[in-house]
Chains A and B, each alone.
Chain A
Amino acid sequence: MPTTKTERLGIRISDDVVRVRQLTRTFALEVGLGLVDQTKVVTAASELARNTLDYGGGGDVTAEIVEQGGRRGVRLTFEDKGPGIADIEQALKDGFTSGKGMGLGLGGAKRLCNEFSIVSEPGLGTKVTIARWK
């Protein structure tokens, strides 16, 4: 899948979550996503950035504009070297939280995007990738 633009951002403090939202918005606009789709992918990015910060102990996001079969999309990859997720199925369930959240972030991000994948190894970290296509 060819990538036409890439940008990387660290996620270390809560202001960085705001920056991730802004970066995602810029990329979504550039891809030409409609307003509702922009809002969806920015919201998903916000959820994942906060998880990276709160549970992953910080990490980073790589934003890309990707092209496939004449379609353009925005793809975001969140990576941390935190404790990882032992039971991914449980973590994806709406309502499951190990903290003080509502347990909506992961499941919600999945619903708000066209593509969602999560790779996690206990003790090594977590990598979540989402994409939204035009």
Chain B
Amino acid sequence: MDRIPILKFGNALLVTIQVDMHDRLATALEEDLTSRIVSNNARGVLIDISALEVVDSFIGRMLDNIAAVSRILDADTVVVGMRPAVAITLVELGLSLTGVKTALNVERGMAMIHDRLAGSEADDADDED
């Protein structure tokens, strides 16, 4: 079966979804990302969905799950590039994706992850005082 490639960018993982995923592909991505967060010690996950013309409840749930699992593994997930028509449709579908952070594009998403890391490092430094 095909798999969606996961790239490593410093301490973050980047996934660019370029195909209309069938359900098994989406489930495989969720599993792959979870194990890569651990094996790469990743602190952030960026999922670029700017090419996705449709996000239904299955893909929505996948995004929610990835965000929840990464949180437990101390990594931040940011979904970037959601199309306006997709956002409107998701809300009407009843999927608010409250647990998912979003950003307009990859640059801003990366900045969000770095901001949080900088913040938590500052906290760590405070703790040592």
Q: Tell me the minimal C-beta distance from A104 to chain B in angstroms.
A: 5
In the complex, how many angstroms separate the beta carbon of A82 from the nearest chain B beta carbon?
Answer: 18
B15 at interface by CB-CB < 8 Å: no
**Which B residues form the contact surface with A (CB < 8 A)?**
20-24, 53-58, 61, 83-86, 88-89, 92-95
A1: CB under 8 A from chain B? no
Instruction: Check if B56 sits within 8 Å of A47, measured CB to CB.
Output: yes
Instruction: Contacts A21-B54, A42-B53, A47-B57 given; indicate if A35 touches B94 (C-beta within 8 A).
Output: no
Give A56 Cβ to nearest chain B Cβ, in Å. 15
A102 in contact with B57 (CB, 8 Å):
yes
Assembly CA distance A102 to B53 (angstroms): 21
A17 within 8 A of B: yes
Whole-angstrom CA separation of A107 from B84 in the bound complex: 22
* A111 and B93 within 8 A (CB): yes
Closest to B64 in A: A102
14 A-B pairs within 8 Å (CB atoms) are namely A36-B84, A36-B89, A39-B85, A40-B89, A43-B93, A46-B56, A47-B57, A50-B23, A50-B56, A50-B58, A94-B94, A101-B61, A105-B57, A111-B94
Taken together as a complex, chains A and B put the C-alpha atoms of A35 and B93 apart, in Å, by 16
Which residues on the B side are within 8 Å of A38 (C-beta)? 85
B61 (CB) vs chain A CBs: closest residue: A102
| Proximity bits, A17-50, B CB within 8 Å = 1, else 0 | 1100110010000000001101110110011001
Min CB gap A92→B, angstroms? 12
New A-B pairs, 18, CB < 8 Å, besides A18-B22, A46-B56, A107-B94: A14-B23, A14-B24, A22-B20, A36-B84, A36-B85, A39-B53, A39-B83, A39-B86, A39-B88, A40-B88, A40-B92, A43-B54, A46-B54, A50-B23, A108-B57, A108-B93, A108-B94, A111-B92
